[in-house]
Amino acid sequence: MKQLFFTKLSGAGNDFILFDTKNNSELSLKPQIIQQICNRRFGIGADGLILFSEANGFAFDMKYYNADGTTGSLCANGARCALEYGFETGRVFDEKINFLSNGTEYAGEILEKELVKFYLNPPKNFKYNFKIKAYNQLINASYVDTGSPQVVIKISDILADPKKPGSYFKKIEDVPVYQIGREIRYSPDLAPEGANVNFINIAEEYIHIRTYERGVEDETLSCGTGSVGSALISFVNDNLQMPIKLRAKSGDILTVDFKVENQKVSGLSLAGPAKIIFKGEITI
């Protein structure tokens, strides 16, 4: 039995359990332990888990794990939460903060308490307007890797009833995100890695977004890398102007900004709320 001290954080509704190695010596977490801790009925409950530690030459080092114990991909809301934690615990002082996430260097900025901007590395592997089979139909989709692979679909491109032409979804609340998202996430076209699946509707100066996240294997209240991917795709497909604001399922607003020069994206950032919800301890 071991007693661990944790901090629970939320990035626009995307929630994380953070273990600070300063407060938890010799911390080693196996995938099944991570699954147990992130379980919403038998553990603390979260979309993911962050190990926060000191790093030579950097403000901190964060290792990110999905709720199912897998790792390797970027979590932008998790990075923003780690930045907020570093600020709240007096580890982050500079305006521009350099840190490591799963071995890759990133930067961030505390705009004000509980409002954090995260700078992503340039996106790659854009693919626009291809067809993917799901929900008994061929659905128009686009793809981009923002540090984590993203499929982006406009809800007006999905038939609510595949047998009725013209029965496209009009309200994002009506889309069966779990059902369609899970089918596309495991599509042979995206094997073996799969992808997050983002459903968007552009209205009232916002991109309204809902996301099925791989690694969580469910819909989450917000997805940072998915919001960034959706903004990038909408910039091209729908001529949106920067900065682009997105309304997550949580109701929180995320802002994506970037520059495009010679068809290359630079200065890519995600800003929005990040806050500590509570602190506690758990015995494993």
Residue 67 burial class via C-beta count within 10 angstroms: exposed 0-12, middle 13-18, buried 19 and up: buried
- Identify whether the C-beta of residue 180 lies closer than 8 Å to the C-beta of residue 197: yes
Same structural domain for residues 138 and 240? yes
Residue 94: predicted pLDDT = 78
Distance between the two ends of the chain, CA-based, in angstroms? Answer: 5
pLDDT of residue 72: 87
Query: What residues are labeled active site?
Result: 75, 223
The CATH code of the domain that includes 91 is 3.10.310.10
What is the domain range of residue 24? 3-121+275-283
Q: Please check whether residues 259 and 179 belong to one and the same domain.
A: yes
pLDDT of residue 25: 85
Convert the pLDDT of each residue in 62-117 to its tens digit.
Answer: 999 999 999 989 999 999 999 999 999 998 877 889 999 999 999 999 999 999 99
Structural domain count, the chain: 2
Is residue 84 domain-shared with residue 154, that is, in the same domain? Answer: no
Residues 128 and 70 in one domain: no
Sign for the CA dihedral angle at 49, 7, 252, 40 comes to positive
Using 50 as the pLDDT threshold, list the residues of the chain that sit under it.
none
Same domain as 150, residue 261: yes
Q: How many residues does the chain have?
A: 284
Task: Please check whether residues 21 and 159 belong to one and the same domain.
Answer: no
| Distance (Å, whole) CA 24 – CA 42 | 21
Q: Could you give the CA distance from residue 123 to residue 138 in angstroms, rounded to a whole number?
A: 26
211-238 per-position pLDDT tens digit: 999 999 999 999 999 999 999 999 999 9
Residue 73, classed as helix, strand or coil, is: coil
| Same structural domain, 136 and 188 | yes
Q: How far is CA 270 from CA 78, 139, 142, 218, in A?
A: 12, 28, 20, 22
Instruction: Check residue 95 and give its pLDDT.
Output: 80
- Looking at the fold, whether 136 and 264 belong to one and the same domain comes out as yes
